Homo-oligomer: A and B are copies of this chain.
């Protein structure tokens, strides 16, 4: 559990910064910024805990996580003019976050003894739903439906974990490699502008 706690912390930092930057971008007030940073960092894990029935949900008894998010918001606030200039910063932190969180969610599913497909799904939920709830709250189309590889990267990284496991790769190597695969796929996909294949011919949209 030691390694996974470090990964969880890194994911929390990445997502709290990413959430705070998104909230600055939307010009929310200080309180709104804290909420969005918190939801982005803790939302996916909260949904995972609720689905698994882990109570009380992790951030409730983990003050370190709460303080980490608050400190991230303050630091992001101080360096915001610097961070906002770098158009790619928000994207980078978000990508690092989904890589780490996919592994954390997957690990939780393994501990609960669930089927590999469900474990990978939990990884995706942990990684993606903080961002989804954030987008719903600020009234944007959720990140997973925008036209690029996002949840798909989590799926592939999660799948790679189980293949490596079958091949006998030790856990200590397996988890960081799976996180690296998620991050690499998303980075490459955005760099080379790879999206998922379009499955539609011209069909009139009907409601």
Contact = CB atoms under 8 A, between A and B. Distances in A.
Copies of chain A in the complex: 3
Nearest to A29: B196
Interface residues of A, number: 55
B137 A84 contact: no
Contact of A87 (B81, B136, B206): B206
Given A25-B207, A84-B203, A197-B30, A56 B144 contact: no
A145 B29 CA distance: 8
A200 B35 CA distance: 17
A36 to B, nearest CB: 9
Interface of A: 24-25, 27-33, 35, 46, 50-53, 55-57, 60-61, 63, 66, 77, 81, 84, 87, 112, 114-115, 117-118, 132, 136-139, 141-142, 144-145, 147, 151-152, 155, 195-201, 203, 205-207
